């Protein structure tokens, strides 16, 4: 071959390579690039008919890639062929991963099953080379056909080898681009499906945002275009109290360049306040380019609400344990005051002024006992007597009594749902809830206003409730006023015991704490919404009751004597000396024979030594050495006929569960001595169990 011919072939090869690279750089479609490769070779050497077949991802199926000078009918017939050890030139080359040369299609065994496809179109010889990736994986084949049987020339084999290398570049670039595009689609799909806002923004408090995901519209109410149009949108929509947190995190991030992290509140377009956790990292940038960060804004509002509920619940539980703990000792003290006051009233019956003082003492004891009950209701240790009720009846009855308490300038409106579902709750405590909320509403409207008591049915679903309430049907009691309202700081403390905004002496601070405790103990939820100058609304959600209303008990004569006197023997066990002495003296004056003990161990000694009957055991439940429950069990083993009456200043002992487990009545302290006498007489006169 002459030097001129070699130069011409070299220049042609360079031209083909440059054309291919140009098309690849211009991101031309793969068929266009492969077609240009075939045409370039055929133009330089008209005897060659070029063909490119691409191997599918399944690794066995060949599909058409490019063949500009070969009959389309033939191309359709071989499209989809499966590679194998005797599948013509291309199928065999791909299968063996090495070049295959067939000089005569009509007689070569590799074409035995395919020559009838090629010969009608004037294809008599075919030389094929596998197109392999840089990792050695077969991507397809590059082949040249001839219109007469012939053996390859070295230059043709060189053309095939060069063409296969160029085809590798085109195919790998196309697949990499396709994979990148697919990855981008997957990433974008993931980003747009995340329950969060993703963004790219320049570093700095007022740095412009270059991208924000579509979720910003469903979460904050702004379209991406609206948000990106103003670089100050981010900082301006952060709650004023939290801007310092966000700016400090930004400054720290700018210094250490590691990870941006901050939690803060933002205002949505409709005024809602949402909590966000903001996490971001720096993006790489070239010299002179602005520093940008890519981050995610997670809506953690529900998490924060649950977190706050947990903190509040733990705080309430701690105070509740304190309230329950002091109830026993407090009730014992009230018991002593009440008992001594009763004795004083008997001795000063002729002194009118002294009687009035004693009556005031009695009223103070009653109020103190009520205060204890409020603490217990708040701590959810008060014993409730739930029944299936209709809140409409409770609201209607309460409204009649509230008319006496509501100021003339306050208009009361009742809005009842006539189809209201029933709830299971303590009707007395429901009245207490309405009274407490109504009185608070009245006090919040010193210049007059409107008080609205309303009921309605509602359904809570997980898809729309953000307060942690389980899905289901609820009955809602709403108390609304048009009063002075509350700020966020006040709302955060209103259910805490002893917290009050009223002047000293005008409120105990237990009203809303009691409401909270009763609602929680009933299995309900309470929410408050308020704004300064715009009034307050309390919403209480009670689960709908599916049971039928309980029939009212019919009062019948019990046949129990009304007298409190008797002659039976009573074993009185109480670790508080004052209460024991006072009760013993009262019972002796009532005719009973009294055996005294300061604890359970001493009581058992007396019971073993006493020769006569012991008709009744009266014992406190909480005592050192041996408690009342254990004492009763041991005494019943020793004296099965002895009846038992428990006393307790602790609320847990009077719960239905505890009463059932003790198999005996429990008298809650403080109680009047006359009440003790009536209870004793009823037990002793009742038929044995």
Q: What is the 3-state secondary structure (H, E, C) of 344-406?
A: HHHHCCCCHHHHHHHHHHHHHHHHHHHHHHHHHHHCCCCCCCCEEECHHHHHHHHHHHHHHHC
For the segment 127-144, what is each residue's pLDDT rounded down to a tens digit? Answer: 999 999 888 899 999 999
Q: Is the pLDDT of residue 660 over 50?
A: no
pLDDT of res. 464: 47
Q: Is the pLDDT of residue 626 over 50?
A: yes
The average pLDDT across 568-595 equals 91
User: Tell me, what CATH number does 281's domain have?
Assistant: 3.30.450.20
Q: How confident is the model at residue 60 (pLDDT cuts 50, 70, 90)?
A: very high
User: Tell me, what CATH number does 672's domain have?
Assistant: 3.40.50.2300
Q: Is the pLDDT of residue 543 over 50?
A: yes
For the segment 439-466, what is each residue's pLDDT rounded down to a tens digit? Answer: 888 888 888 899 999 999 998 876 544 5
pLDDT of res. 506: 47
The two tokens of residue 532 are 């300064």
Query: Residues 175, 214: one domain?
Result: no
Mean confidence (pLDDT) of the chain: 82
pLDDT of res. 588: 93
The average pLDDT across 282-311 equals 81
Q: How confident is the model at residue 381 (pLDDT cuts 50, 70, 90)?
A: low
For the segment 393-405, what is each residue's pLDDT rounded down to a tens digit? Answer: 999 988 887 887 7
Burial class of residue 602 (count of CB atoms within 10 Å of its CB; 0-12, 13-18, 19+): middle
Query: Residues 281, 200: one domain?
Result: yes
Q: How confident is the model at residue 413 (pLDDT cuts 50, 70, 90)?
A: very high
Q: How confident is the model at residue 379 (pLDDT cuts 50, 70, 90)?
A: low
Task: Say which range, 87-91, 141-145, 206-210, 493-497, has the weakest mean pLDDT.
Answer: 493-497
Q: Is the pLDDT of residue 620 over 60?
A: yes
665-672 own/partner pairs: CB under 8 Å, 24+ apart? 666/621, 668/331, 669/328, 669/331, 669/332, 669/334, 669/335, 670/331, 670/332, 670/334, 670/335, 670/337, 670/338, 670/365, 670/369, 671/335, 671/338, 671/647, 672/338, 672/342
Query: Residues 173, 246: one domain?
Result: no
pLDDT of res. 655: 46
Q: Is the pLDDT of residue 351 over 90?
A: no
Query: Residues 85, 54: one domain?
Result: yes
Q: Is the pLDDT of residue 347 over 90?
A: no
Q: Is the pLDDT of residue 9 over 60?
A: no
Judge whether 537 lies within some domain: yes
The average pLDDT across 409-415 equals 90
Domain boundary (146, 181, 216) is at: 181
The average pLDDT across 255-268 equals 89
Query: Residues 72, 151: one domain?
Result: yes
User: Tell me, what CATH number does 395's domain have?
Assistant: 3.30.565.10
Find out whether 205 and 247 touch, Cβ atoms under 8 Å.
Answer: yes
Domain boundary (133, 156, 181) is at: 181
pLDDT of res. 577: 87
Query: Residues 153, 199: one domain?
Result: no
Question: What H or E segment, with its residue span, contains residue 274?
Answer: strand 273-282
The two tokens of residue 359 are 């009556």
Query: Residues 150, 121: one domain?
Result: yes
The average pLDDT across 309-336 equals 73
The average pLDDT across 539-560 equals 65
pLDDT of res. 329: 76
User: Tell me, what CATH number does 120's domain have?
Assistant: 3.30.450.40
Question: What H or E segment, with its residue span, contains residue 189?
Answer: helix 154-193
Range of the domain at 72: 3-181
Q: Is the pLDDT of residue 555 over 50?
A: no
Q: How confident is the model at residue 602 (pLDDT cuts 50, 70, 90)?
A: very high
pLDDT of res. 552: 52
pLDDT of res. 110: 95
For the segment 62-101, what is each residue's pLDDT rounded down to a tens digit? Answer: 999 999 999 999 999 999 999 999 999 999 999 999 999 9
Dihedral sign (CA 322, 323, 324, 330): positive
Distance of CA 335 to the CA centre of its chain: 46
In the chain, how many domains are there? 4
For the segment 21-55, what is each residue's pLDDT rounded down to a tens digit? Answer: 778 777 788 898 899 889 888 887 888 899 999 99
The average pLDDT across 258-280 equals 91
Domain boundary (158, 181, 204) is at: 181
Task: Tell me the percentage of the chain whose pLDDT exceeds 70.
Answer: 82
Q: Could you give the count of Cα atoms lying within 13 Å of 292 in the half-sphere of its Cβ?
A: 16
């Amino acid at each position: 071959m002459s030097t001129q011919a070699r130069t011409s072939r070299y220049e042609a090869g360079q031209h083909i390579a440059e054309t291919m690279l140009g098309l690849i750089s211009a991101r031309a479609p793969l068929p266009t690039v492969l077609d240009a490769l075939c045409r370039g070779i055929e133009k330089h050497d008209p005897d060659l008919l070029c063909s490119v077949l691409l191997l599918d991802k399944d690794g066995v199926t060949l599909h058409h890639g490019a063949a500009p000078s070969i009959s389309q009918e033939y191309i359709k017939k071989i499209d989809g062929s499966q590679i194998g050890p005797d599948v013509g030139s291309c199928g065999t080359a791909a299968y063996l991963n090495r070049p295959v040369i067939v000089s005569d299609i009509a007689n070569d065994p590799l074409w035995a099953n395919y020559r009838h496809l090629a010969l009608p179109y004037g294809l008599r010889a075919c030389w094929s080379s596998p197109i392999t990736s840089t990792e050695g994986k077969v991507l397809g084949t590059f082949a040249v056909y001839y219109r007469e049987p012939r053996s390859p020339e070295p230059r043709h084999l060189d053309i095939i080898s060069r063409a296969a290398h160029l085809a590798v570049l085109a195919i790998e670039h196309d697949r990499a681009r396709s994979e990148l595009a697919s990855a981008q689609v997957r990433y974008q799909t993931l980003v747009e499906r995340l329950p969060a806002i993703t963004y790219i923004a320049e570093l700095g408090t007022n740095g412009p945002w270059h991208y924000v995901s579509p979720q910003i519209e469903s979460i904050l109410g702004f379209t991406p275009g609206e948000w990106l149009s103003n670089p100050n949108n981010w900082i301006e929509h952060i709650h004023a109290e939290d801007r310092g947190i966000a700016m400090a995190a930004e400054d720290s991030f700018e210094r250490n360049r590691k990870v941006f992290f901050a939690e803060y509140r933002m205002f949505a377009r409709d005024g809602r306040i949402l909590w966000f956790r903001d996490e971001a990292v720096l993006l790489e940038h070239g010299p002179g380019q602005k520093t940008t960060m890519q981050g995610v804004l997670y809506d953690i509002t529900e998490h924060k609400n649950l977190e706050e509920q947990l903190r509040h619940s733990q705080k309430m539980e701690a105070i509740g344990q304190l309230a329950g703990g002091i109830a026993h000792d407090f009730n014992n003290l009230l018991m002593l005051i009440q008992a001594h006051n009763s004795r004083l009233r008997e001795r000063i019956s002729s002194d009118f002024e002294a009687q009035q003082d004693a009556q005031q003492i009695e009223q103070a004891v009653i109020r103190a006992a009520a205060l204890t009950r409020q603490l217990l209701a708040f701590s959810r240790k008060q014993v409730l007597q739930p029944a299936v009720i209709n809140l409409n009846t409770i609201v209607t009855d309460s409204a009649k009594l509230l008319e006496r308490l509501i100021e003339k300038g306050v208009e009361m409106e009742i809005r009842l749902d006539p189809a209201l579902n029933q709830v299971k709750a303590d009707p007395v405590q429901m009245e207490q809830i309405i009274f407490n909320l109504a009185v608070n509403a009245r006090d919040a409207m010193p210049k007059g206003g409107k008080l609205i008591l309303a009921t309605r049915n509602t359904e809570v679903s997980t898809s729309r409730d953000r307060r942690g309430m389980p899905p289901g049907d609820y009955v809602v009691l709403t108390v609304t006023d048009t009063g002075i309202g509350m700020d966020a700081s006040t709302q955060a403390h209103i259910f805490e015991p002893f917290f009050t905004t009223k002047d000293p002496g005008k409120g105990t601070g237990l009203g809303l704490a009691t409401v909270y405790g009763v609602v929680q103990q009933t299995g309900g939820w309470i929410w408050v919404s308020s704004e300064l100058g715009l009034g307050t609304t309390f919403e209480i959600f009670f689960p709908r009751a599916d049971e039928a209303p309980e029939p009212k008990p019919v009062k019948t004569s019990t046949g129990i004597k009304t007298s409190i006197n008797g002659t039976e023997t009573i074993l009185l066990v109480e670790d508080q000396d004052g209460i024991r002495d006072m009760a013993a003296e009262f019972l002796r004056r009532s005719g009973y024979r009294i055996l005294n003990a300061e604890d359970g161990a001493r009581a058992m000694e007396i019971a073993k030594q006493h020769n006569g009957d012991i008709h009744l055991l009266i014992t406190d439940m909480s005592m050192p050495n041996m408690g009342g429950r254990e004492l009763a069990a041991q005494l019943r083993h020793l004296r099965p006929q002895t009846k038992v009456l428990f006393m307790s200043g602790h609320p847990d002992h009077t719960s239905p569960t505890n009463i059932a487990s003790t198999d005996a009545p429990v008298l809650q302290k403080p109680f009047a001595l006359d009440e003790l006498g009536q209870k004793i007489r009823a037990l002793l006169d009742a038929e044995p169990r």
